Amino acid sequence: MINIHHLELFYYAARAGGITAALRLIPYGIQQPAVSAQIGRLEESLGVKLFHRRPFSLTPAGREVYEQVAPFFSNLSQLARRVRQDAQQRLRLAASASALREEMPELLQRLDRATPGLEVTLREATQPVAERMLLAHEIDLAVVLLESKPAAGVRAEPLLRLPLVLLVAVDSPFRTAAEVLRVAVRDELPLVSLARSEHLAQVFQRELASRKIVWKTRIEASGTDLIEAYVGHGFGVGVALEVPGRVPAAKVRALRLRGFPLVVFGALWSGRLPAPASAFLDLARERARALAGG
């Protein structure tokens, strides 16, 4: 198997007309003895002599190798420049379903005004899914509920901590979440919730268990908008997040769950953020500060 790094050093030596002259072209620090030694190993692996040292001249085999590798190595700088330019015009983003619907459009509009022509890819994801996509280089940034310590190689930054609320019909006699829980302990109220695999539902059920309350889900919904709809139609009590500035549906009231853990929204990324992703993260931070202040 040919060592690509050895081929690269041979390319620079052949292009410059000697190893010493090649040191001025090689775009990273390396000493002349190391270049000579590695080109020598390339010749050993190929079983041929590639050039004469004094005076420098390529052998027929060396000329053939140079003609094969020169187009690749000579175009690397242009390739890197094109890739960087493409990255400056692309944002690959993953987020929770609610964030994609409610927060992302405004943030992306602001980003688009600053970066005209930006190409955006949106994916729905939870933290585990987002981490897999980040490590596979399928996305640049994720804004999701933070469920656990991030995987190795993934950075996490909390942005916003939100309280849990119970949703009741607007004409419900309940005035506080404590009143609801006192009835729920007898399992007399239907619960409308996200799936048990969802982080919000897990946080809610863990706290119930710590209070010795068993409250089973009767209706499992795929999103908080569906929870609001079914609660508003009298199907039971829902569990959701209290997002500053967001008003529940007309037929629904929200009751703060005092003493329940907060749920954390945060950003995830891996490695160095491309410029559009970095700019979007700045906008998300600004939006989170505004929501927290509100």
Cα–Cα distance between 67 and 11 in angstroms, integer?
Answer: 9
Q: Are 182 and 238 part of one and the same domain?
A: yes
Q: Are 176 and 227 part of one and the same domain?
A: yes
Q: Are 154 and 274 part of one and the same domain?
A: yes
Q: 3-state DSSP call for residue 238?
A: strand
Question: What is the predicted pLDDT for the residue at 81?
Answer: 58
Which residues, in sequence order, are CB contacts of 267 under 8 Å at separation 6+?
141, 142, 143, 156, 157, 159, 281, 284
Question: What is the predicted pLDDT for the residue at 246?
Answer: 78
Residue 101 inside a domain? The answer is yes
Question: What is the predicted pLDDT for the residue at 175?
Answer: 95
Counted domains in the chain: 3
Give the chain's residues under pLDDT 50: 87
Question: What is the predicted pLDDT for the residue at 69?
Answer: 87
Q: Which domain holds residue 195?
A: 164-261
Residue 103 inside a domain? The answer is yes
Q: Are 141 and 284 part of one and the same domain?
A: yes
Q: Are 277 and 233 part of one and the same domain?
A: no
Which class for 143: exposed (0-12), middle (13-18), buried (19 or more C-beta within 10 A)? buried
Residue 124 inside a domain? The answer is yes
Question: What is the predicted pLDDT for the residue at 77?
Answer: 66
Residue 79 inside a domain? The answer is no
pLDDT digits (tens, 9 = 90+) for 54-78: 888 999 998 998 888 888 887 776 6
Measured CA to CA in angstroms, residue 148 lies from 104, 141, 154, 155, 217 at distances of 23, 17, 12, 12, 24
Q: Are 179 and 249 part of one and the same domain?
A: yes
Q: Are 141 and 277 part of one and the same domain?
A: yes
| 141-145 and 90-95 beta bridge pairing | parallel
Residue whose C-alpha is closest to residue 132's, from 150, 147, 148: 150
Question: What is the predicted pLDDT for the residue at 85?
Answer: 54
Q: Are 173 and 137 part of one and the same domain?
A: no
Residue whose C-alpha is closest to residue 145's, from 128, 133, 170: 128
Token output for 4: 């690509």
Question: What is the predicted pLDDT for the residue at 188?
Answer: 76
Question: What is the predicted pLDDT for the residue at 82?
Answer: 57
